[in-house]
Structures are given as C-alpha cells and as structure tokens.
C-alpha cells in the first residue's frame, strides 16, 4: 500500500491509505499545480516507484 508521495515541488504528501493518498495528492495538484492532471493509477505508480527508489527523495 502506498501512503507517501514526494511532489517535485518539495512537498511530501502523506495519506492514511492508498485512497487517502490519491485524494490528498489530487488536492495538492489542483491547488499548487493547476493544469497538470493525473489519474488514480498514475499517482499510485509514482508513489510505488518512489518507495522502491527511496534515495530519489
């Protein structure tokens, strides 16, 4: 389960579970990065990739 997502702007988004993470990430994107849109799957894939490549953060 993915619960953390590092945004390229430096913000780390933390959710209680995967669905919460996606909801918070979409909120953040909508407020801070309007014009970019990602779907549920893409956000979870990014979070998974970051978790598996932890030195990226």
Q: Which listed range, 7-15, 18-26, 36-44, 46-54, lies at the site for Zn ion (CB under 5 A)?
A: 7-15
Cβ within 8 Å of residue 29, ≥6 positions away: 7, 36, 37, 38
Q: Does 11 bind Zn ion (CB under 5 A)?
A: yes
**Would you say 32 or 37 has its CB closer to Zn ion?**
32
Question: Quick one: residue 9, left, alpha or beta (phi over 0 = left, psi -120 to 50 = alpha)?
Answer: alpha
Q: Does 27 bind Zn ion (CB under 5 A)?
A: no
Q: Does 54 bind Zn ion (CB under 5 A)?
A: no
């Amino acid at each position: 389960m993915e619960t953390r997502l590092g945004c390229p702007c430096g913000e780390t988004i933390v959710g209680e579970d995967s669905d919460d993470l996606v909801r918070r990430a979409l909120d953040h994107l909508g407020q801070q990065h309007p014009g970019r849109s990602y779907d549920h799957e893409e956000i979870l894939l990014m979070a998974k990739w970051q978790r598996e490549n932890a030195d990226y953060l």
